[in-house]
């Protein structure tokens, strides 16, 4: 926190998710001090790292409460979001926004990219898309399973970061999902509870590819 933050550039968040942009730690610390608050790093692995301007004492207290609450919650759900090699930018934003929503609700997300026809000859492009998804969701999720090819699909599994560290990217300023009403329901599927799940992620992804 504060002077101990060493990253050359950081993304700064204030209040309930207000984005202040990318700046140096020194600039961010000046902003924090100007309102009598602290600068706390909340997502060190994001690019750039994410820091929040907060009352540190209150932040620690809320963090402690969140840990107690999380212990009392039931098993997480596995959600699924599907991409294509040539997913349009508009649809890409919708899918990432929905993935963020699932993650922010405490669910795991299986990201799947399926190849069709001639797309199988350009699987390297599929990995590029998956890396983009991984990087775009780095502010809210960490990777449980790196992008992996199985049959005619690439699968990846994401888990939500601790609630106090989550920073959503695919939101409009008024807090609504980007064109959420235009999303296709069949692209966002529920899977069984993670707890007691017998089938491996790789096998399920391969099975989905063979049925297509």
pLDDT in tens, 98-136: 999 999 888 999 999 988 887 777 788 889 999 999 999
Per CATH, domain 77-211 is 3.40.1010.20? no
76: CB partners within 8 A, 6+ apart: 106, 107, 108, 159, 193, 194, 195
pLDDT in tens, 49-103: 998 898 888 878 877 777 666 554 556 688 999 998 888 888 899 999 999 999 9
The better pLDDT of the pair 164, 41 is held by: 41
Q: Tell me: pLDDT of 19 over 80.
A: yes
pLDDT score recorded for residue 29: 92
pLDDT score recorded for residue 118: 79
Please tell me if the domain spanning 2-65 has the same topology as the one spanning 77-211.
no
pLDDT score recorded for residue 99: 92
Report the relative pairing of strands 50-54 and 10-14 from DSSP bridges.
parallel
pLDDT score recorded for residue 211: 45
Q: What is the CATH number of domain 2-65?
A: 3.10.20.80
Label residue 194 by pLDDT band (50, 70, 90). Answer: very low
Label residue 208 by pLDDT band (50, 70, 90). Answer: very low
Query: Which DSSP string do the residues of 96-133 spell out, in sequence order?
Result: HHHHHHHHHTT-EEEEEEE--GGGGGGHHHHHHHHHHH
Q: Where are the domains of the chain?
A: 2-65, 77-211
pLDDT in tens, 154-191: 999 999 999 888 888 886 433 444 443 333 433 444 44
pLDDT score recorded for residue 175: 44
The better pLDDT of the pair 194, 19 is held by: 19
pLDDT score recorded for residue 183: 39
């Amino acid at each position: 926190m504060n002077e101990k933050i060493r990253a050359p550039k950081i993304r700064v968040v204030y209040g309930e998710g207000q984005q202040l942009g990318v700046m140096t730690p020194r600039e961010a610390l000046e902003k924090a001090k100007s309102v009598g608050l602290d600068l706390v790093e909340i997502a060190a692995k994001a690019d750039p790292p994410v820091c929040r301007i907060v009352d540190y004492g209150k932040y620690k207290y809320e963090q402690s409460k969140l840990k107690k609450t999380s212990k009392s919650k039931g098993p997480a759900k596995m959600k699924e979001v599907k991409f294509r090699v040539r997913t349009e930018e508009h649809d890409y934003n919708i899918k990432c926004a929905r993935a963020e929503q699932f993650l922010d609700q405490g669910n795991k997300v299986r990201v799947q990219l399926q190849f069709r026809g001639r797309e199988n000859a350009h699987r390297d492009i599929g990995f590029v898309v998956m890396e983009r998804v991984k990087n775009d969701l780095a502010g809210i999720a960490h990777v449980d399973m790196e992008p992996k090819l199985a049959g005619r699909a690439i699968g990846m599994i994401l888990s939500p970061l601790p609630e106090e560290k989550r920073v959503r990217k695919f939101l409009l300023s008024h807090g609504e999902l980007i064109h959420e009403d235009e999303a296709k329901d069949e692209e966002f599927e529920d899977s069984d509870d993670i707890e007691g799940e017998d089938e491996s992620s790789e096998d399920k992804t391969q099975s989905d590819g063979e049925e297509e």
